Amino acid sequence: MKHLLAPTALVLSVLLTACSGGQAPRTAEFVPPAPAETDFGTLRVRYNALPTLALSEPVAKQYGVQRDAGTALVLVALREVKGAEEIDADGEVSVTAHDLSGTRQAIELRKVEAGGYTDLIGTARVSPRNSYRFEVVVTAGGRTETVTFQRNF
């Protein structure tokens, strides 16, 4: 049995070496998640959350947020879909975030003008290597809808 372990270990070490392609290890890079959207009839809800450090200085300044490792920007946009066009939609929005331990935080939203549209933004406290589930509750046009999404920081 001992004579089988040595060749197996040698083959595994060669295969693992080949996996790196001879490249030196490199640091991980942040890849922003794709923004998400959900349609409720003609109401389109766009939502996203990303670390504020992923924002450029000019964008952070435009949104009035500080770039910080422990802060995420939460963005919600309400649009009325009319054919191929989208226009701002009115509605009430609330957002809560839940981390893996179950800690809940309400996120206060405010309106900002961006690219000819009005969006709602807020910030959430986040910690590294934690996952957050966001719950977005939208009341518009006499009905209430809920969207949930998850982001890892």
Residues of the chain with pLDDT under 50: 1-18
Domain 30-152 has CATH 1.10.3720.10: no
CA nearest neighbour of 150 among 45, 48, 11, 44: 48
What is the rounded CA–CA span in Å between residue 11 and residue 5? Answer: 10
Residue 115 has a pLDDT of 81
Task: Tell me the sheet residues that pair with 39.
Answer: 44
Residue 116 has a pLDDT of 86
All residues at 6 or more sequence positions from 46 whose CB lies less than 8 Å from its CB, including other chains: 35, 36, 37, 75, 76, 77, 79
Judged by DSSP in three states, 14 sits in helix
> H or E element: which one contains 61?
helix 57-63
